[in-house]
Structure 1
């Protein structure tokens, strides 16, 4: 069944008008007709099966047939990552990380930042598209750019991937499902001051293997390992 995103979906109403983007897709791309059934998601675990009552390409109307609610998973995969200079690369990370199972992405403004502005609306659309494609019912949380020191102070006791000579542990053995953000720096790495602060606040330096990885690759590696850890320990 085709899925469509409707953030205002609640159990209190049984009739909704879809936004224009979803309405156009239903009417002009999929050529769906009145009476066809679709699935609506609010990104917070609420799912509804609905019947199209008016396939208007500007404002499709639907009636809810039934609801189903899915609780938010207790486990968290929280990646804090510095946006890449090439916007396509960070967008690729966001899409694939959502498909794999990331639950939260925080964007870091590091001392060696390659990008100090991002288009959150664009990133959120990527999250929505990837959520629907991968049949997820919870939309990952996206947090705007924040200075590394502020993030570390607000989220102590995580994991930090960096390229300095250091004593590091394997990410698989260090990951914990609860309150364990994994921070990934820019291509120029974290500054020595950022690394020192992270260690002071209880961050464990981790290795992501012997090869040096690009920022977005390191992020995907971390998400994948965390997902495997959760699958093996569920």
Structure 2
């Protein structure tokens, strides 16, 4: 499916330049298939995010900001302590803390970075959660991260509002924290809010799309007559449900209308119920047991 323009968190990493004698060569990284990574994902070393990784064994980078604070003020790590860095794109490297100053640490790689291949399934979430109060939106994106969703897009409907910029920044922090907690190496993208009209072409191009509505066929029943896929779209409306026109537009584009039982569910509950069911149904063995 086409790129939806992920929102990126602010960079908090500075690179120490002297050791960068040649461009970073991702092809030189050793690749680990997902099946071989399953045991590593439960490793005991503390893991932290860094947009930049050392290019080879012995490389040094400087880590600042929130990750520095987490390392030194929360976990109280010291010099020579071993940690891991990941970049959200499958890159992972083990190393140690060489030096700590007032605002940063120097990380030294003990090995060449590894590149872990993407894990399946790849479900993309479109949920109208802009009006959720309290920590309910946080909970939604946290659990989507843990369950392996590829992306989450706030869906703008007639009965749901947009999301403020400061709230987007908070959700980015929630996603990063969840990725670290569940040992996920590939980032879950938080996309810009999208209107129904812009969603329709994506549904039409997708091999499989599911829209949750009150009158839909029970999800499990719908899956028995559906070709098994490892990727697709999950579409969930606002608290007041989609309008009839919105449902017609989405289903006419090719989405399958599904229901989740007799009870009215909250946006976040419906989203996670469908994602968990489809993840298991698609046969993936790569769900992290966080």
Alpha-carbon distance in 1 for matches of 2:87, 2:210: 31
Residue 204 of structure 1 is aligned with which of 244, 247, 256? 256
Match of 1:140 in 2: 188
- How many corresponding residue pairs? 232
Alpha-carbon distance in 1 for matches of 2:227, 2:127: 17
DSSP-derived class of the 1:50 partner: strand
CA-CA distance at 1:69 after TM superposition: 1.4
Alpha-carbon distance in 2 for matches of 1:27, 1:70: 27
Match of 1:19 in 2: 64
Q: CA distance change for structure 1 residues 175 and 213 in 2, over 3 Å: closer, same or farther?
A: farther
CA-CA distance at 1:175 after TM superposition: 7.6
Within 5 Å, which residues of 2 pair with 1:5-84? Answer: 5-9=49-53, 11=55, 14-66=59-111, 67-83=113-129, 84=131
Match of 1:222 in 2: 274
Match of 1:85 in 2: 132
Matched, 1:189 2:241: yes
Q: CA distance change for structure 1 residues 86 and 36 in 2, over 3 Å: closer, same or farther?
A: same
Structure 2 residues without counterparts, runs of 5 or longer: 1-44
- Is the 8 Å Cα contact of residues 216 and 258 (structure 2) preserved in structure 1? no
Alpha-carbon distance in 1 for matches of 2:120, 2:149: 13
DSSP-derived class of the 1:144 partner: coil
Alpha-carbon distance in 2 for matches of 1:186, 1:60: 44
CA-CA distance at 1:162 after TM superposition: 1.2
Match of 1:110 in 2: 157
- Is the 8 Å Cα contact of residues 142 and 175 (structure 2) preserved in structure 1? yes
Match of 2:25 in 1: none
Alpha-carbon distance in 2 for matches of 1:198, 1:93: 22
Match of 1:150 in 2: 198
CA-CA distance at 1:85 after TM superposition: 2.9
Give the TM-score taking structure 2 as reference length. 0.74
CA-CA distance at 1:213 after TM superposition: 0.8
Give the TM-score taking structure 1 as reference length. 0.90
Alpha-carbon distance in 1 for matches of 2:104, 2:188: 26
Alpha-carbon distance in 1 for matches of 2:281, 2:216: 24
